[in-house]
Amino acid sequence: MTEITESCGCVYRDSLQFVKKFLIANSNDFIFQSLIGLLAFIIVYKLFIGGRKNLPKRAKRSVGVSPASKGTGQPIDCVNPATGKSMGIINCLKPVEVKQCLESAKLAQSEWKSTSFDERRQIMQDFIDMFINNEKAIVEASMRDTGKTRFEATFGEILTSCEKLRYLIKHGEKALKTEKRIVPMLLGTKSARLEYHPLGSIGIIIPWNYPIHSIISAAAAAIFAGNAALVKVSEWSTHSKVLFEGLIREVLANRGHDPNLIQILPGMGETGEALVRSGVDKILFIGSPQTGKRVMKAASDNLTPVILELGGKDPMIVYDDIDIDWALAVVQRGCFINLGQNCISSERVFVHERIYDKFAQEMTKKIKSLKQGPPEEGHFDFGSMTMPAQVDKVDQLVQQTIKEGAKLLAGGMRHPSYPKGNFYMPTILGDVKPGMTIFQEEAFGPVCTLVKFSSEAELIEMANGTVFGLGCSILTSDLKRAERIGSQISTGMLTINDYGASYLVQDLPFGGCKESGFGRFNGPEGLRGFSREVSILTDKFPIRTPVPRLIRYPIDPNSVGIIRQAIFMIYQRGFFNKIRAACSFTSQVIRNPKLLL
Ligand X SMILES: *[C@@H]1O[C@H](CO)[C@@H](O)[C@H](O)[C@H]1NC(C)=O
Residue 464 C-beta: closest distance to ligand X, Å: 4
Q: Does 440 bind ligand X (CB under 6 A)?
A: no
Report the alpha-carbon distance of residue 157 to residue 211 in Å, rounded.
Answer: 8
List 460, 462, 566, 569, residue binding ligand X (CB under 6 A): 460
Residue 513 C-beta: closest distance to ligand X, Å: 9
> On the CB side of 366, how many CA atoms lie within 13 Å of its CA?
20
**Cβ-proximal residue to ligand X, closest one:** 464
Q: 142 vs 473, which CB is nearer to ligand X?
A: 473
Q: Does 344 bind ligand X (CB under 6 A)?
A: no
Q: How far, in Å, are 366, 411, 432, 452 from residue 324 at the CA level? A: 12, 22, 20, 15
List 464, 558, 559, 584, residue binding ligand X (CB under 6 A): 464
Q: Is 289 helix (H, G, I), strand (E, B) or coil?
A: helix
Q: 167 vs 468, which CB is nearer to ligand X?
A: 468
Q: Is 264 helix (H, G, I), strand (E, B) or coil?
A: strand
Report the alpha-carbon distance of residue 424 to residue 391 in Å, rounded.
Answer: 6
Q: Does 488 bind ligand X (CB under 6 A)?
A: yes
Taking a C-beta distance cutoff of 8 angstroms, is the pair 66, 90 a contact? Answer: no
Residue 321 C-beta: closest distance to ligand X, Å: 22
Q: Which of 85, 210, 207 is nearest to 143 (CA)?
A: 210
Residue 484 C-beta: closest distance to ligand X, Å: 11
Residue 467 C-beta: closest distance to ligand X, Å: 7
Q: 127 vs 468, which CB is nearer to ligand X?
A: 468
Strands (E), 404-556: 407-410, 427-430, 447-453, 468-469, 471-475, 493-496, 513-514, 517-518, 531-539
Residue 442 C-beta: closest distance to ligand X, Å: 16
Residue-level length of the chain: 597
Residue 596 C-beta: closest distance to ligand X, Å: 52
Known active-site residue 309: yes
Q: Is the C-alpha dihedral spanning 348, 354, 355, 361 positive or negative? A: positive
- Number of residues this chain uses to bind ligand X (CB under 6 A): 5
Q: 200 vs 512, which CB is nearer to ligand X?
A: 512
Q: 143 vs 460, which CB is nearer to ligand X?
A: 460
Q: Give long-range contacts, CB 8 A cutoff, 24+ apart: 546-553.
A: 546/597, 548/595, 548/596, 548/597, 549/594, 549/595, 549/596, 549/597, 550/595, 550/596
For the segment 499-528, give every residue that binds ligand X (CB under 6 A).
Answer: 514
List 91, 288, 490, 592, residue binding ligand X (CB under 6 A): 490
Q: 288 vs 490, which CB is nearer to ligand X?
A: 490
What stretches of 1-94 show up as alpha helix (H) in DSSP?
2-26, 30-44
Q: Which of 97, 152, 273, 309 is catalytic?
A: 309
Q: 77 vs 458, which CB is nearer to ligand X?
A: 458
For the segment 546-565, give every residue that binds ligand X (CB under 6 A).
Answer: none
The contact set with ligand X (CB under 6 A) reads 460, 464, 488, 490, 514
**Catalytic residue set:** 309
